[in-house]
């Protein structure tokens, strides 16, 4: 069973409750929350207080993508805000092991995210300790960018490693995913698909239904 995790970066925050309800009613079970600090990435988005507000309007699983330096500093704040899973960037953690352990100790699931230019061989050391690996298919920082095909090779590599070391691993892909290229990422090994613009541009319900059809085929 594959999962759709719509990126709320593209949601209309003026009507967050109504929009969250549309997603819930369309059968969405995960919300992807992109946290950006203006340092690890150029953009600034939102942090724990906003996540806490969204938590009040939905029971969805909160898949929190932390594009921030040294996320270990904020783990308790995100736990308090209602995050279910924290995904930290390999490139943003001085001590990845310590960060993974701290997320688990705070009672959340944990993921590791990898930028497009970062190789994935080192994952061998962590793959059986985490719930999810997130392969970025754009350079992190902004929604609405074009999918980078390098992600397909990386997904295949992670999938092969997961089959050997952690068959339950969630493999998420994030950036530039549309109804037209989603089959390619599923075939390459992804089982969690993030989509921002392709969900929120135009008719949300119809977009979600089109994704669901491919994800559940």
> Where do contacts with ligand 5SP occur on this chain (CB under 6 A)?
7, 9-10, 32, 34, 65, 67, 138, 140-145, 174-177, 194-198
Strand partners, 111: 87, 132
CB nearer ligand 5SP, residue 135 or residue 166:
135
| Neighbour-count burial of 19, counting CB atoms closer than 10 A to its CB (0-12 exposed, 13-18 middle, 19+ buried) | buried
Per-residue tokens: 146: 């074009």
Which partner, ligand 5SP, Fe ion, none, binds residue 176 by CB below 5 to 8 Å per kind? ligand 5SP
| CA–CA distance, 56 with 61 (Å, rounded to integer) | 12
C-beta neighbour count of 7 within 10 angstroms: 23
CB nearer Fe ion, residue 65 or residue 89:
65
196 in a labelled binding site? yes
187 in a labelled binding site? no
Question: Are the C-beta atoms of 119 and 152 separated by less than 8 Å?
Answer: no
88 three-state secondary structure: strand
Least distance between ligand 5SP and beta carbon 41 (Å): 7
175 in a labelled binding site? yes
CB nearer ligand 5SP, residue 48 or residue 143:
143
Strand partners, 58: none
Active site residue 34: yes
Q: What are phi and psi of 16, to 5 degrees?
A: -60, -40
Q: One of 12, 34, 76, 80 is an active-site residue; which one?
A: 34
174 in a labelled binding site? yes
Q: One of 12, 24, 84, 174 is an active-site residue; which one?
A: 174
Binding site for Fe ion (CB under 5 A): 34, 65, 174
Residues annotated as binding site for substrate? Answer: 7, 65, 141-144, 174-176, 196-197
- Active-site positions read 34, 174
């Amino acid at each position: 069973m594959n999962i759709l995790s719509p990126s709320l970066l593209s949601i209309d925050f003026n009507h967050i409750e109504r929009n969250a309800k549309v997603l819930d009613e369309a059968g969405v079970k995960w919300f992807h929350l992109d946290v950006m600090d203006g340092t690890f990435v150029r953009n600034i988005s939102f942090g724990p207080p906003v996540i806490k507000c969204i938590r009040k309007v939905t029971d969805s699983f909160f898949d929190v993508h932390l594009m921030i330096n040294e996320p270990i500093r904020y783990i308790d704040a995100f736990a308090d805000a209602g995050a279910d899973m924290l995904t930290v960037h390999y490139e943003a953690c001085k001590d990845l092991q310590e960060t993974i352990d701290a997320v688990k100790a705070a009672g959340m699931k944990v993921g590791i995210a990898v930028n497009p230019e970062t190789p994935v061989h080192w994952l061998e050391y962590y793959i059986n300790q985490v719930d999810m690996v997130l392969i970025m298919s754009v350079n992190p920082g902004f929604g609405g960018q074009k999918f980078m095909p390098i992600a397909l090779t990386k997904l295949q590599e992670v999938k092969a490693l997961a089959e050997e070391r952690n068959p339950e691993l969630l493999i998420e892909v994030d950036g530039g995913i549309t109804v037209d290229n989603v089959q390619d990422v599923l075939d390459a090994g992804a089982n969690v698909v993030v989509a921002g613009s392709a969900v929120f541009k135009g008719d949300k319900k119809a977009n979600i239904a089109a994704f669901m059809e491919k994800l559940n085929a």
